[in-house]
Chain A
Amino acid sequence: MTDLTLLGIAEAGRLLARGDITATALTESFLKRIDAVDHKIASYITVTADLARSAARQADMELKGGLRRGPMHGIPVALKDIYETAGVRTTGHSALRKDYVPTIDAETVRRLKDAGAVILGKLGTHEFANGAMTPDQPFPAVLNPWNTKYQPGGSSSGSGAAVAAQLCMGAMGSDTGGSIRNPAGFCGTAGIKPTYGLVSRCGIFPLSFSLDTAGPLAWTMEDCALMLDVLAGHDPNDQGSAKAAKVDYGAACHRPIKGMRIALARHWYEGKDQVTPDMKKGIDEAVRVLRDLGATVDEVTFPDIRDYHICGRTIITVEAHAIHRQEVIETPEKFGYTTRRRFQLGAFLTAEQYISALRFRRQLTLDTRAAMRGYDLVMCANHWGAPDKFEEPQPIFHFFGKPSLTMPFNVTGQPAATICCGFGSDGFPLSFQLAGRAFDEASVFAAGAAYERATSWRSHRPKL
């Protein structure tokens, strides 16, 4: 029989609906693989095997009785360990929360459970979605399944690594400056940062109120779409939650893209700073594929990538300090050495500097919108090249060096997805981003899924 852990969510959902496989068999396949393989990459902090088996049995009973809740019914998924889960510890990968057991689920977790998804467990993350994974934290660092000497990207590190290593079918991540798209890119999965306000953050550890978003990582864009179908929706308990029209993202994946107009922000990744030659080649080839599918791709000039980078970093530095101030005063020794300094730094910035960054964000949002006029999507590189090796000590601050290629869409709030476009000579995945207008995730999914169907990259998995 086919290895069930190689199935995508869409395909597994169809097989479950027809009764060709059971949720129990699917869940057992993943639990078995976690047991056999996860010690090599440490993607899970907590495996909730008993709860998963019980949820799978429930799904099987309902499916057998003719009740199908939707495409996520019986699908095994996992959660970045900043999502609160009733009765299951939620650590934030930190000594500060290593024994914290919430009493209620995050709204997103509630939605996944209502849709019949099976939760396999909680995944490693950069501490509180910000600090690097360092030896002074209570859980091991997550390793990249393509080469375990390298980092998987962060902060949703376990989410990217577990999806790539077939240790869950989909995973929840969070993205404040690129934390879904970085691990998706470095681990070769798909992932989407939804429009700010589309998915509830209620019950998720915050990092930066005005930039935090929650979203899925999965092996394909269609699988991400099926997860987002369940996750999207207004939540009055999230102050940033928007009232947006319901869209069928799964269906959007099958929309033709002939006539779609894509603005290529080449100057972001081939300007002062350059992506690797392999990455450039991969993206150029992706442009050709999208043109062959009927899309128009034009080079367009956007604001300088460094403007988005520093705007976002300033806002995150101040808001993260406000959120964690009490604990960096009372128990600084309990943070990892990078996390502590990143959270302390905000104490040195002034109110005027913060407000200037907020004003700058508004200006960049308007300028980006103007540059996109007449285009449906923005396309650009997802990351500069290979991930970093694990080396100690790690850099304390991550705003030095090349600017973040993911930050523009955190600053503007637009939806942005990561799509794998091949592999470099070093064996690491290459990827590009597609970003849509606010609340137009459908166009992102349409183009991303069309690209994936037209190429063979989704058949290549890491060997563990």
Chain B
Amino acid sequence: MSSPKAPSLEEFRAHAALTGLPLTPEDIEHLHKGYVGLLELMQRIPTHWAWAAEPPQVFRADE
């Protein structure tokens, strides 16, 4: 998997229509900025993992 490309506002609006959320134009603008910013920061998260790299089902610090 590669990191998703940052969407334009128009592309994001189309995505927003599929989320099931009632969003105002102002919501969409804010969310677009937030999403693009988050995606940029998320580049630090590796996207390639061993297929068996299973996250803990319930996070337990005492494991």
Q: Does B10 contact A (CB under 8 A)?
A: no
| Min CB–CB distance A441 → chain B (angstroms) | 12
| Min CB–CB distance B25 → chain A (angstroms) | 13
Give the chain B neighbours of A254 by CB distance below 8 A. Answer: none
Give the chain B neighbours of A349 by CB distance below 8 A. Answer: 38
* A197 partner, pick from B16, B19, B42, B61, beta carbons under 8 A: B61
Interface size for B (C-beta < 8 A) is 34
Contact status B35-A356, CB under 8 Å: no
Q: Does A399 contact B (CB under 8 A)?
A: yes
Contact status B61-A347, CB under 8 Å: no
Contact status B56-A345, CB under 8 Å: no
| Min CB–CB distance A272 → chain B (angstroms) | 13
Interface of A is mostly: helix
Contact status A348-B35, CB under 8 Å: yes
Contact status A396-B45, CB under 8 Å: no
Rounded to whole angstroms, the CA-CA distance of A355 and B19 in the bound complex is 19
Contact status A356-B46, CB under 8 Å: yes
**Stretch in A27-35, A96-104, A310-318 touching the partner:** A310-318
Contact status A310-B44, CB under 8 Å: yes
* B59 partner, pick from A196, A345, A356, beta carbons under 8 A: A196
Give the chain A neighbours of B47 by CB distance below 8 A. Answer: 356
Give the chain A neighbours of B45 by CB distance below 8 A. Answer: 310-311, 314, 353, 356-357, 360
Give the chain B neighbours of A360 by CB distance below 8 A. Answer: 45-46
Q: Does B5 contact A (CB under 8 A)?
A: no
Rounded to whole angstroms, the CA-CA distance of A371 and B33 in the bound complex is 35
Q: What residue in chain B is nearest A400 (Cβ atoms)?
A: B37
User: Of residues B20, B21, B33, which shows the largest number of chain A Cβ atoms within 10 Å of its Cβ?
Assistant: B21
Interface residues as binary, B31-63 with A (CB distance below 8 Å gives 1, 0 otherwise): 101110110011011110100011110111110
Give the chain A neighbours of B21 by CB distance below 8 A. Answer: 328-329, 332, 344, 347
- A242-B61, A314-B38, A341-B31 are contacts. A362–B20 as well, Cβ < 8 Å? no
Contact status B35-A413, CB under 8 Å: no
Rounded to whole angstroms, the CA-CA distance of A307 and B43 in the bound complex is 10
- A310-B41, A313-B38, A399-B38 are contacts. A242–B60 as well, Cβ < 8 Å? yes
Q: Which residues from 432 to 464 on chain A have a C-beta closer than 8 Å to any C-beta of chain B?
A: 438-439
Interface size for A (C-beta < 8 A) is 49
Contact status B20-A353, CB under 8 Å: no
Rounded to whole angstroms, the CA-CA distance of A412 and B61 in the bound complex is 7
Q: What residue in chain B is nearest A345 (Cβ atoms)?
A: B34
Rounded to whole angstroms, the CA-CA distance of A354 and B42 in the bound complex is 11
Contact status B44-A240, CB under 8 Å: no
Give the chain B neighbours of A328 by CB distance below 8 A. Answer: 21
- A329-B22, A356-B46 are contacts. A195–B38 as well, Cβ < 8 Å? no
Give the chain A neighbours of B1 by CB distance below 8 A. Answer: 352
Q: What residue in chain A is nearest B15 (Cβ atoms)?
A: A348
Rounded to whole angstroms, the CA-CA distance of A309 and B43 in the bound complex is 12
Contact status B61-A414, CB under 8 Å: yes
Contact status A362-B60, CB under 8 Å: no
| Min CB–CB distance B33 → chain A (angstroms) | 8
Give the chain A neighbours of B27 by CB distance below 8 A. Answer: 332, 340-341, 344
Q: What residue in chain B is nearest A353 (Cβ atoms)?
A: B42
Q: Does A210 contact B (CB under 8 A)?
A: yes
- A329-B22, A348-B15 are contacts. A240–B58 as well, Cβ < 8 Å? yes
Give the chain A neighbours of B31 by CB distance below 8 A. Answer: 341, 344-345, 348
Q: Does B9 contact A (CB under 8 A)?
A: no
Give the chain B neighbours of A438 by CB distance below 8 A. Answer: 61-62
Q: Does A306 contact B (CB under 8 A)?
A: yes
Interface residues as binary, A208-248 with B (CB distance below 8 Å gives 1, 0 otherwise): 00110000000000000000000000000001101010000
Contact status B42-A314, CB under 8 Å: yes
Contact status A439-B23, CB under 8 Å: no
Contact status A439-B62, CB under 8 Å: yes
Contact status B22-A332, CB under 8 Å: yes
Sample 30 A-B pairs with CB under 8 A, ordered by A number.
Answer: A197-B61, A240-B60, A242-B61, A310-B44, A313-B38, A328-B21, A329-B20, A341-B30, A341-B34, A347-B20, A353-B45, A355-B55, A358-B55, A359-B46, A360-B46, A361-B59, A362-B53, A362-B55, A363-B46, A396-B30, A396-B33, A396-B34, A397-B33, A397-B37, A399-B37, A399-B41, A413-B61, A414-B61, A438-B61, A439-B62
Q: List 7 additional A-B contacts (Cβ < 8 Å) besides A196-B59, A329-B21, A345-B34.
A: A210-B59, A341-B27, A348-B31, A348-B35, A349-B38, A355-B55, A396-B33
* Shortest beta-carbon contacts, A-B, top 5: A413-B61, A358-B55, A438-B61, A347-B19, A310-B41
